[in-house]
Chain A
Amino acid sequence: MSKKQKILAISSPGGHWIQLNKICNEMESRFDVVYATPGTQYGSQKSHRKIHNITDASADSKLKLIPLAFQLLWIMIKERPSAIISTGAAPGAIAVLIAKVLPIKTIWVDSIANVAKLSRSGEMVKNHANLVVTQWEPLSDGKKIRYQGSVL
């Protein structure tokens, strides 16, 4: 069998991170998954996993988005993933915009918390990511925004 493809999985802490884990833990048998999230508080639970610590930034803290962008670019250069996947919010959106100019597939899974409309960061990347998925069927437009199940 050929070497597993590498995925870089990125999210903010909290609910976004929980959802990212629900998706990516199950992908670890199929892919080589590395993670990037602010804070290393989750690192000890599953020590075999590789988690890059990144700056915690949001759309409300625009100055921090700059170091965050450089960190993400550096991680992508070092890890050379064939795809990135994010459940949100700002760190994932920045990662999608960076990966867009690199030979990396970009996947956006909009948070399950966004039941009435796509998240703010989802709106930001929906025309840039290769694949955009909502976790609520009514939010799918059948074309660009797809529904294919949910973490719950």
Chain B
Amino acid sequence: MIFVAVGTQFSFDRLIQYMDEWAEANDEAVFAQIGDGDYEPKHMKWERFLDGDQYNGYIKDSTAFVSHAGMGNIISSRQHQTPIIVINRQFELGEHRNNHQADGLLWMGKLPGVYTATTQEDLFAHLSKRESLDCPAESENHKREQLVTFLGDYIDGTLS
């Protein structure tokens, strides 16, 4: 199953249309959270909004998670060890109030388990390889442990 989500702040009809097209052409279940979008999918199941448990459940159960380039989704996908494909909202197309999701792709693309797309072609190329997308093991989280321990040691004076 592929899970698609656009978040709660803005709609992202372009992504939903891409994925509806993909769902029509491919023999794979797709579930989409579409927000307030005008476009209603015809070839995949969808809801406008999900509660946190449902949302995380879909991320956990999916082969790949397709979303806008939001930091929360990057973190959630890592937690559930699901590879994520992110596509940026474009200011020029009225999809966001600025273009910071385009900048987001720069750092997100450097993380293991994160795949970036700026076009429908990029997105479909990643999806065609969905079974072999890499997802980082839990042990990858040592970077956060390292940071938290370092900061804690600094605060309590263990480290000067």
Q: What is A's interface to B at a CB cutoff of 8 Å?
A: 5, 7, 14-15, 18-19, 22-23, 26-27, 30-31, 45, 82-83, 85, 105, 107, 109, 112-116, 131, 133, 135-136, 148-152
B106 at the interface (CB under 8 A from A): yes
B151 at the interface (CB under 8 A from A): yes
In whole angstroms, what is the CA distance A150 to B71 when docked? 14
* Interchain Cβ contacts within 8 Å, total number: 84
List A contacts of B155 (CB < 8 A).
5, 7, 31, 82-83, 85, 105, 107
Are B71 and A18 touching (Cβ within 8 A)?
Answer: yes
B154 to chain A, nearest CB (A): 6
B131 at the interface (CB under 8 A from A): no
Known A18-B71, A115-B110, A148-B150: A30·B144 in contact at CB below 8 Å: no
B143 at the interface (CB under 8 A from A): yes
Could you show 11 A-B contacts with beta carbons less than 8 Å apart?
A: A23-B148, A30-B152, A31-B152, A85-B151, A107-B154, A149-B144, A150-B143, A150-B147, A151-B75, A152-B74, A152-B78
Q: Which residue of A lies closest to B145 (CB)?
A: A149
Are B71 and A14 touching (Cβ within 8 A)?
Answer: yes
In whole angstroms, what is the CA distance A14 to B147 when docked? 20
A27 touches which of B75, B106, B148 (Cβ 8 Å): B148
Known A30-B156, A107-B155: A113·B107 in contact at CB below 8 Å: yes
A23 touches which of B103, B110, B151 (Cβ 8 Å): B151
Q: What is B's interface to A at a CB cutoff of 8 Å?
A: 52, 70-72, 74-75, 78, 100, 103-104, 106-107, 110-111, 142-148, 150-152, 154-156
Are A113 and B71 touching (Cβ within 8 A)?
Answer: yes
List B contacts of A151 (CB < 8 A).
75, 143-144, 147
A41 to chain B, nearest CB (A): 11
In whole angstroms, what is the CA distance A149 to B149 when docked? 10
